[in-house]
Amino acid sequence: MIKPHGADALNARYVNDVTRRNTLLAEAESLPSIVLNSAAAANAVMLGAGYFTPLNGFMNRIEALSVTSRMQTPDGLFWPVPILNLTGDISGIRGAKRIALRDPNQEGKPVLAVMDVENIEEFSAEEIAIITEEVFGTLDATHPGVAVFQSSGRYCISGAIEVLNYSYFADEFEGTFKTAVEIRDEIRERGWETVVAFQTRNPMHLAHEELCRMAKERLNADGIVIHMLLGRLKAGDIPAGVRDACIRKMVEVYFPENTVMVNGYGFDMLYAGPREALLHAVFRQNMGATHLIVGRDHAGVGDFYGPFDAQAIFDDLEPNALEIEIFRADHTAWSKKLNKVVMMSEVEDHKPEDYVFLSGTKVREMLSEGVAPPPEFSRPEVARILMDHYQLEVMQTAVGE
């Protein structure tokens, strides 16, 4: 099985020992504390679940700037995105050496983790701008990732953490949320060696389904892990529970048994395009995947990135930066000429009108009106789940008015 990134074994920061976890929870009640922002809380969940192996906790200022400029920590570990705990208010923890980190996403803001404070530093406005531009490729505040990052505060709290729960992910997405440890164990139990990971924050239409099938066949892989983001998205994106239902129905009906695992991870989408694609590769290696499908506009938003920037960035990596490999995918669509889904770069004599194309806006309109997209675009079982979701939204809006 592929090794974790930068380590021989996963470094999952979740405290499994019940006695120690209860001791830490009791201690946390007497510690100075801060309420994390949602992005930092998601980072803590990812650290707890082993996805951010080999990191022990949140990066300090020097580490963050090194990762920003060189995509390496000062000690030479490849890492593409700073893992930070930012805040705008340190009045309650000034001078503290040990603090409790509270969850902003659960009622009562319970303790999520306990942290040994290495340092509390302040980024300058110039440094925040540098990190923003390097990681997101833009300073444009209309970019959803930029808006979140630049509103998170300039104080950087660094140090190792011990994670005491997985926030709302474990309960709200029971059976879907899985740690890197759990996925790696299941891959081993299934006897898979070559494993393809598919990243998604959306329901999977027929083209996505066929892309997974293409990757599995061409790589002669043993199985696919459809690994969906369960954290915060931008307004208008499909809720995680609906996506989960769509994907599970598709797998149940259209894939052979023991060829697909459907799992999710607790992270907030960055929409950071190429840099986020690299982060996706890091934590998919940690969960045991040997290959990651990187398609058109992977982890992108709007027109901030070129369609294949997220593939090209892998060409610039130092040798052995990662063990996981990528499967490069072009835009996929139904060919009317060939009567199947194809990668558009692989077929000849095709004009735009030879493909079945539907814009996201058009699809949403159809679903809201109870009209299923054509079968060349979406499986009918998946379309039914989406129609129910959109029609419920329409009804709720009407009641609200």
Look at the block and give the residue holding tokens 């009106």.
369
Domain with 111, as residue range(s), is 18-170
- In percent, the amount of the chain with pLDDT more than 70 equals 98
Q: Respond yes or no: is residue 119 known to be catalytic.
A: no
Q: pTM score, two decimals?
A: 0.94
Shared domain for 36 and 68, answered yes or no, is yes
Co-location of 35 and 147 in the same domain: yes
Q: Do 211 and 65 fall within a single domain?
A: no
Domain CATH number, residue 305: 3.40.50.620
**Tens digit of pLDDT for each residue in 243-267?**
999 999 999 999 999 999 999 999 9
User: Do both 181 and 145 map to the same domain?
Assistant: no
Q: Is 201 a catalytic residue?
A: yes
Does 2 reside within a domain? no
333 within 8 A of 296, measured Cβ to Cβ = no
Domain presence at residue 114: yes
Last residue of a domain, one of 124, 139, 170: 170
- Within a domain: 129: yes
**Does one domain contain both 152 and 36?**
yes
pLDDT tens digit string along 353-384?
999 988 777 888 888 888 999 999 999 999 99
- What backbone phi and psi angles, to 5 degrees, belong to 238? -70, 130
Structure tokens at 14: 């979740």
Of the listed 11, 70, 154, 202, which one is catalytic?
202
Whether 136 and 187 share a structural domain: no
User: Do 149 and 230 fall within a single domain?
Assistant: no
Out of 201, 328, 364, 384, pick the active-site residue: 201
Domain count, the chain: 2
Query: Which structure tokens are listed for 114?
Result: 């306990």
**Residue 3 in domain:** no
Q: The tokens of 55 are what?
A: 């990191």
**132/99 same-domain check:** yes
What b/e readout covers 26-59, taking b as 16+ CB neighbours within 10 angstroms? eebeebebbbbbbbbbbbbbbbbbbbbbbbebbb
